[in-house]
Chains A and B, each alone.
Chain A
């Protein structure tokens, strides 16, 4: 994490992990945020893909430049040494569930536990994704709200397909990272 306090705005680099079960839309959320695009094709992520995007964030009454180092991780419930190394040094994380699969919401507690072990101060928020899929939703708003309250997380109803709340969510996480 680098901070340069010059005459110009402060600059920060922060690592952010995207966590959740397979096919909840982690890669799609990242592509929407980084590249502004969406693909219907499902391509399972293996290992990790790291992307960067710079945003501006309010900081101590001024504007700071924050480069988010976004880690798109393969969905996995297995906690291995390799996965531990993926999570080390994370300043923040977005926990993603799929509104059309209820099990993906239940899984999030495991990801939170793993992350808390390795990065106890990481800032977290919850993305309930595929909000655009009106039919087939298995998770109702009160369930998302209850899960978010249980872990004391801000939450967003997102759609990587339409872009709904995606930019807003990353911007909010950016603010949390500099608080």
Chain B
């Protein structure tokens, strides 16, 4: 019988779900330096080693160069999360993967940001295939397609 106060089990389940879903996360300070992260983060970072503590978030994720001021502002004055969806990453083995990058403030812990990375490779590959077909059809027809592709129901 599981009791509501079984915190150890609850913590284990949380950790298991995060690992199972290949979710990566990091805590960064106002200067966008990594304070802590889980073991899944380095797989998404550019040219990183496993020791990424104290490294600049911008070096690991160049997608954030240009929005430094927005992120620092978000750390100081909490607002809606900053989200960059479907970022493509080519891996050393030639595979292509996609992730969503979401950065949200944690005002209860000071000027700290939580970076969450979600693996969306499978659904993005399906979406890409569908979009590719639509574009090829459109080019054959000589017509101009507008609007986003329909999302496959997965």
Residues of A within 8 A of B (CB): 1, 13-15, 21-23, 42-50, 52, 69, 71, 74, 76-78, 81-82, 85-86, 88-91, 101, 103
Contacts and interface: CB of A to CB of B under 8 A. Distances in A.
A1 B136 contact: no
B91 interface: no
Interface in B83-105: 83-88, 90, 98
A89 B131 contact: no
Interface of B: 62-63, 65-68, 70, 82-88, 90, 98, 124, 127-128, 131-132, 135-136, 138-139, 144-148
A173 to B, nearest CB: 15
A15 B62 CA distance: 9
Nearest to A91: B66
Contacts, number: 79
Contacts of A1: 65-66, 68
Contacts of A46: 86, 88, 98, 124, 127-128, 131
27 contacts: A13-B65, A15-B65, A15-B66, A22-B135, A23-B139, A42-B135, A44-B131, A44-B132, A46-B124, A46-B131, A47-B85, A47-B87, A48-B84, A49-B87, A49-B88, A49-B90, A50-B63, A50-B87, A50-B88, A74-B131, A77-B146, A77-B147, A82-B84, A82-B85, A85-B83, A88-B67, A101-B144
B102 to A, nearest CB: 10
Nearest to A49: B88
Contacts of B67: 85, 88-89
Contacts of A69: 62, 65-66
B83 A50 contact: no
Contacts of A50: 62-63, 87-88
Given A21-B144, A71-B63, 4 more contacts: A1-B68, A46-B127, A81-B83, A89-B66
A140 to B, nearest CB: 19
Q: Chain A CB within 10 Å — which of B65, B83, B139 has the most? A: B65
Nearest to B148: A78
Contacts of A22: 135, 138, 145
Nearest to B101: A85
A92 to B, nearest CB: 10
A43 B132 contact: yes
Contacts of B90: 49
A27 to B, nearest CB: 10
A77 to B, nearest CB: 5
